[in-house]
Amino acid sequence: MPLDIRSLALNRALVSGWVNALHTGAAQPVDSDGRIRKPLAASTIHNLHGLLYAILQYAVEAEPPLRRSNPAARTQLPSADDEGDKACFLTPEEFALLRSCADDDIQDALTVLAGTGLRYSEFAALQVRDVHLGTQPAPQIRRAWRRQPDNTFRLGPPKTPAARRRVTLPEQVLATIQPHLKDKKPETFLFTTTTGRWWRHSAFYHRR
């Protein structure tokens, strides 16, 4: 709801409540595709609060002043420590256990994901023609799946220009990929569902 920057309703309690809602995900609006927005990371909340603080401080220091005080001052913000580790890496033993518990039709996919470090959108877009076997076998990352405003997906370039790259394959990953290249057309996706469709992330996550 829009709020006049001069309004007395814009106070410390309101700012604190806003910060808490961003942190917990409570009372978050629903996006156009019907998904509820997730809680924001502490670093993102710090950035948003900093912007609000700067706007309100400008209002305090304006001539004539638009406000008597800055309600964003001394707001208690979530600590970045609350986010935990930025990344979690499995040991070889942990990955072997995870793979052994997965359905047979995605065990090879998990090996490739773990062995190459590809983004999921890049992995799911891999086609037979992208994998070049030779003295130094390496798939060429040329495309990735990209979500559209209407919640559909299309193939496009990778996330950044630097993401167009060749990925060196460890021996275990190479041995895993080779059977998936046989008797397939160049444009065929390397890993597909049991019905031959590309593995959409939500289906992979929820069904497997």
Least confident segment among 1-10, 11-20, 82-91:
82-91
**Which residues make Cβ contacts (< 8 Å) with residue 82, sequence separation at least 6?**
42
Does the pLDDT of residue 31 top 70, yes or no?
no
Does the pLDDT of residue 24 top 60, yes or no?
yes
Residue 29's pLDDT band, with cuts at 50, 70 and 90, is low
What is the arithmetic mean of pLDDT over 41-46? Answer: 89
Residue boundaries of the structural domains of the chain: 12-83, 92-207
pLDDT tens by residue, 148-191: 888 889 999 988 888 899 888 888 899 999 999 999 999 999 99
pLDDT at 41: 86
pLDDT at 32: 56
pLDDT at 50: 92
pLDDT tens by residue, 56-84: 999 999 999 999 999 999 999 988 665 55
Does the pLDDT of residue 54 top 90, yes or no?
yes
Does the pLDDT of residue 134 top 90, yes or no?
no
pLDDT, the chain, mean: 87
Does the pLDDT of residue 143 top 70, yes or no?
yes
pLDDT at 188: 94
Q: Contact, 52 vs 72, CB < 8 A? A: yes
Residue with tokens 């569902």: 193
What is the arithmetic mean of pLDDT over 121-144? Answer: 88
From the number of C-beta atoms within 10 Å of its C-beta (0-12, 13-18, 19+), residue 199 rates as buried
**Which residues make Cβ contacts (< 8 Å) with residue 55, sequence separation at least 6?**
5
Percent residues over pLDDT 90 in the chain = 56
Q: Contact, 132 vs 112, CB < 8 A? A: no
pLDDT at 84: 54
Cβ neighbours around 173 below 10 Å, total: 20
What is the arithmetic mean of pLDDT over 127-156? Answer: 87
